[in-house]
Chains A and B, each alone.
Chain A
């Protein structure tokens, strides 16, 4: 399934759109894997190589901290994934796409995020620079999938899909920046790992 998602996403989108329950089910099972990969990768990477921020020696945290970080990472991913689906459903009415089921939306976003999730294998070497190099192209790939796949899955004309995708990009940016702000606000008030060496 994973191979199909990465190699022929167009076909997968069409199957989802058609309501093929086998495909949708397979994608749903894939979701669990894709959600778990990034937190696991970062746990492994930060254990083996430490956080490499470039400013000094690599940072090694104790196991509790690393597990908490991975756990919070998983939470953030789940939160992002679920809320995006519900926001998309909410927006669907405006764009004439209310016929799409929630299941197919979940499946759709899994396919969109698959490249990103696989790319987080870069977390195995947690150097910021390296991760940025690997993740930027995968973000581009994912956004491409979003714009291409949304009209197919929602069964709407490409122009409407274009509008809705742009609105979703807007939502994703807002969600990301609020997470950033929330994290910074908490961290600045002491709730976060000490960045000491």
Chain B
């Protein structure tokens, strides 16, 4: 345990209020975003479910689902965990806490009104960059606020070395900023309409440079930051190989950027760009799996925790699905496979093996770990969390299997021609045969949503009525240097031993 020096006049605490609020928003968007997802899955079976209303029409609410999940659920969860972990790995409270609150609420406003704007039909059509230019500017400003708080905290740190989870969050912030600004360059026509600076094939290349790396640095990189902080914390073990994590970070940051053109195989862009994208996508397998192995080896040492801690189960499964998704991706980037998979539901299946299996599950595990600690009381119901685990696994697997079936069917049947070169199947007949798969997918999505709702209930009950526990950064003065340091922050060692952090239940 660390002690407080006598010359501290005011009591410093970690700013966890904003973390708690962001967690609540993340849960809200998870439930809403997934509910919209279930609705559009149903619309693909019963198109009449829009009841003749333009604001329920599939084309308008599908981006509502993607944006709600990525920017509502995903980014809120990333901000929450970034703010939580950067304080503790730097041993200082958040830099500019008011700015952190502005980032938190400002972001929610953007997500809400952005979503409404999508219903109104204001869209750039570019995937995950659909929001029109006023929102793009708002996002940029808020992202800069996020960067200031995050990097400012690191700049103020009392531990000399910057822990690797911060590298991944840092990568998230910097690379997304670069991608967002470049891809969204446009000339406005009016407050709700603009025309892209790029056209045609150029626009395609820029868009998928953005689109793939939004997945890479937001949905993968940012969540890897989450993994690298919360997994050792939960397992109470250092990362299995710190060196591997550093090497794979740089390999990952370098390689991911190149993989964009695998979204454009056999499209009208230069072939060298397509081939380069394919090769780099294959190379990307290495740093991705290095991380997975790092994670699994770390967890395997901490197996006893599973008896009391449902959170770890989620992390382990998240790693398994991460392995799947990061294997499937490079495989689908191979031209021969892509011929079959492009434009089909296989792509959707791949997205969701990542989004449900990796992103959602690791966030759930992290929240189940974080929230009881922040509240200073145990999780409301471990039993519910365990049920949630099985629902999440079942939902994800049903979804993936359904989409694999649908995608492979579509892909092969679309390509099917007979000996004299005539098509064997009409497009309509092929799509009509998709109904059973779409039905299965709907069931999978419903099951997954049910699990998420259980979690929302569980975590909100855990949070209900109690104020946040205030935690102080440890402060020990180095006798020689006269500066403060955390005696536990040894290179490669566990970032543990924060004052007051020994939570009762799953310690």
Contact = CB atoms under 8 A, between A and B. Distances in A.
Interface of A: 53-56, 94-95, 128-129, 132, 136, 139-140, 157-160, 162-163, 166-167, 169-170, 173-174, 177-178, 180-181, 184-189, 194-197
Contact of A170 (B320, B332, B418): B320
Contact of A128 (B353, B419, B432, B436): B436
A170 B324 contact: yes
B299 A56 contact: no
Nearest to B423: A196
A127 B436 CA distance: 11
A90 to B, nearest CB: 12
Contacts of A173: 320-321, 323-324, 353, 400
A187 B341 CA distance: 12
Q: Range of interface residues on chain B?
A: 35 or more
Nearest to B316: A166
Contact of A196 (B297, B321, B336, B417): B417
B273 to A, nearest CB: 21
Given A53-B409, A196-B419, 14 more contacts: A94-B297, A128-B433, A132-B436, A158-B307, A163-B300, A163-B316, A166-B313, A174-B327, A177-B324, A177-B327, A177-B331, A181-B332, A188-B340, A196-B416
Given A163-B306, A177-B331, A181-B331, A94 B300 contact: yes
Contact of B336 (A160, A166, A185): A185
A145 to B, nearest CB: 14
A71 B405 CA distance: 21
Given A178-B327, A188-B340, A196-B418, A53 B316 contact: no
Nearest to B412: A195
Contacts of B425: 55-56, 195
With most chain A CB atoms within 10 A of its CB, the pick from B334, B341, B398, B424 is B424
A157 B433 contact: no
Given A166-B316, A173-B321, A184-B411, A178 B432 contact: no
Interface string B296-309: 11011001111100
B306 A159 contact: yes
B197 interface: no
Q: Which secondary structure dominates where chain A touches chain B? A: helix
Contacts, number: 132
A16 B316 CA distance: 27
Interface string B385-416: 00000000010011011101100110111011
27 contacts: A53-B409, A55-B413, A55-B425, A55-B432, A56-B424, A95-B300, A128-B436, A136-B401, A140-B394, A162-B306, A162-B313, A170-B319, A173-B320, A173-B323, A184-B336, A184-B337, A184-B340, A184-B408, A184-B411, A184-B412, A185-B334, A187-B340, A188-B415, A194-B416, A195-B412, A195-B425, A196-B418
Nearest to A170: B320
Contacts of B433: 53-55, 128
B324 A128 contact: no
The 9 closest A-B pairs by CB, nearest first: A170-B320, A54-B433, A159-B306, A185-B336, A195-B416, A196-B418, A129-B436, A181-B331, A55-B433
A166 to B, nearest CB: 5
Contact of B304 (A140, A159, A177, A180): A159
A42 B504 CA distance: 56
B440 interface: yes
B328 interface: yes
A63 to B, nearest CB: 19
B42 to A, nearest CB: 18
Nearest to B430: A55
A158 B321 CA distance: 21
Contacts of B324: 170, 173-174, 177
B44 interface: no
A170 B321 contact: yes
A195 B297 CA distance: 45
B327 A54 contact: no
B479 interface: no
With most chain A CB atoms within 10 A of its CB, the pick from B297, B334, B412, B437 is B412
Contacts of A195: 412-413, 416, 424-425
With most chain B CB atoms within 10 A of its CB, the pick from A95, A160, A173 is A173
Contacts of B437: 132
A103 B452 CA distance: 41
B429 interface: yes
B316 A174 contact: no
Contacts of A180: 404, 408
Contact of B316 (A157, A167, A196): A167
A139 B251 CA distance: 37
B179 interface: no
With most chain B CB atoms within 10 A of its CB, the pick from A55, A195, A197 is A55
A194 B418 contact: yes
Nearest to B322: A170
Nearest to B436: A129
Contacts of A170: 319-321, 323-324
Contacts of B400: 173
A194 B437 CA distance: 23
Contacts of A53: 409, 413, 433
